[in-house]
Each structure stands twice: as C-alpha cells, then as structure tokens.
Amino acid sequence: MNDRAAARALAQKHIADGDPLGWFEPLYASAAGEPAAIPWADLRPNPNLVSWLDAHPTPAAGLRAMKVGCGLGDDAEELARRGFDVTAFDVAPTAIRWCRRRFPQSPVRYQVADLLDPPPEWAGAFDFVLESYTLQVLPPALRERAMQSLAGFLAESGRLLLICRGREPGEPEGQMPWPLTRRELSGLAERARLVERSYEDYRDSENPPVRRFRCIYERGD
C-alpha cells in the first residue's frame, strides 16, 4: 500500500467511526519524522500559492495572516518570508512539533487547533487567510461548518485565498481528496456570507496535471 492509499484507508476508518478529523495525528505520528510518509508534504511552498503571491504582490508588513492546516509549515514560512505576521495551525500535535523542529528560529506562531472549533480569539483577527487542500479532505457534511470558521477568521477588510481540487457536477468524486464543484463552493461561500472577488479554474503543473479552483473571498457583511 502506498502512502496516499494508506492515508485514505486511515481516513475512511476514522470517518466510519464518527471521528472525521482523528486520522491526521496518527498519520503524522506513524511517519516517525519521515516526510515521504505524508502524501502532501513536498518540503516546499505550494506552487499554487507561490504563483498567486507572485502575481498579486502585497505590501505585507503588519498584515496578520493565518495558514489553515499548516502540515509541515512550508506555506506558513513562505508567507512569513514575504512579510506577513503569521499564525499557523494544525489539528495534529505531531505536525506542530515537526514544524517547530524544522524552523526553530521562525517568527510563525505554530499552534494546535481544530478548524471546526477554533479559539474564540481568532474571530475577525486576520487580514489574509490561506486555506489550501483542507476542504477537499473533509466529508461534505463538514464543509459548511469549516467554511463558516474560515469566514469567521477574517478581519473587516480581510481576504480568504482558497485552493482546492475541482470537478464538473456530473463527474464522480472519486477517492479522497475529493474535488469540489463550482456550485458547491459558491454555495458554501454564500452561506458563510462571503463575496467572491476572483475565481480561477485551471490545470496545475503536477504530473499528471490536476484541475484546481483558486478563489479570493471577502466578508459580505
């Protein structure tokens, strides 16, 4: 069984047991410090994030940024490198300890937290929120709650950058990570009172290429 298949099997077991987020910690713990055992750990910033940041340069000094589901920390470190004041969290304590070991001098505040039950002090606290590849590993029944949390992180003029796999409505979901449809994503945003400011539907640079949606949202209230 390869690493991605093992992660899927672990996730399916926990979802069936009514613990849909419980598989992340055992996955990181069982990796025993080997990044290759984490399917999404490339030990570099997400190219889909980097290309967006390069195309939309922002004077980041003083802006507060949140990285959701930070994994091993590369995206959070990239945001910090570009000048953001970064908080990054993951539900897996082992992932957070791993980040702190990898980047012992980092200015990023790495914390253990649950997207579905975030700390109350994060409400309205961030100018920029990055969510990449988290919604697509959550069962559909949890995505609305997750999007509500994402919206809740935003300061009044804050922006949410969301990156996920995409598919057409008639296409099968396939295996986790599950691609979203444009309609589902738009509905989630609308119910969270978010306004879409930009939307991209493209094929990334993976081999083979993966269809992605990349969207910017702002608070609509």
Segment 98-120, tens digit of pLDDT? 999 999 999 999 999 999 999 99
Alpha-carbon distance 220 to 204, whole Å?
Answer: 29
33: in domain:
no
108: in domain:
yes
81: in domain:
yes
pLDDT value, residue 1: 46
Binned at pLDDT 50, 70 and 90, residue 60 comes out as confident
1: in domain:
no
pLDDT(16) > 60? yes
Domain count, the chain: 1
pLDDT(70) > 80? yes
Q: Which tens digit of pLDDT belongs to each residue from 113-141?
A: 999 999 999 999 999 999 999 999 999 99
pLDDT(3) > 80? no
pLDDT(86) > 90? yes
Whichever domain contains 170, its CATH number is 3.40.50.150
32: in domain:
no
Sort strands 126-132 and 64-68 into parallel, antiparallel or unpaired.
parallel
pLDDT(6) > 50? yes
200: in domain:
yes
DSSP string computed for 155-201? EEEEEEEEEEEEE-TTS---SSSPPEEHHHHHHHHHHTTEEEEEEEE
pLDDT value, residue 2: 58
151: in domain:
yes
pLDDT(58) > 90? no
Kindly report the average pLDDT of the chain as a whole number: 95
183: in domain:
yes
Q: Domain limits at 68?
A: 43-219
pLDDT(150) > 70? yes
Query: 86 — phi, psi (to 5°)?
Result: -105, 135
Residues 6 or more apart from 196 whose CB is under 8 A from it?
A: 186, 189, 215, 216, 217
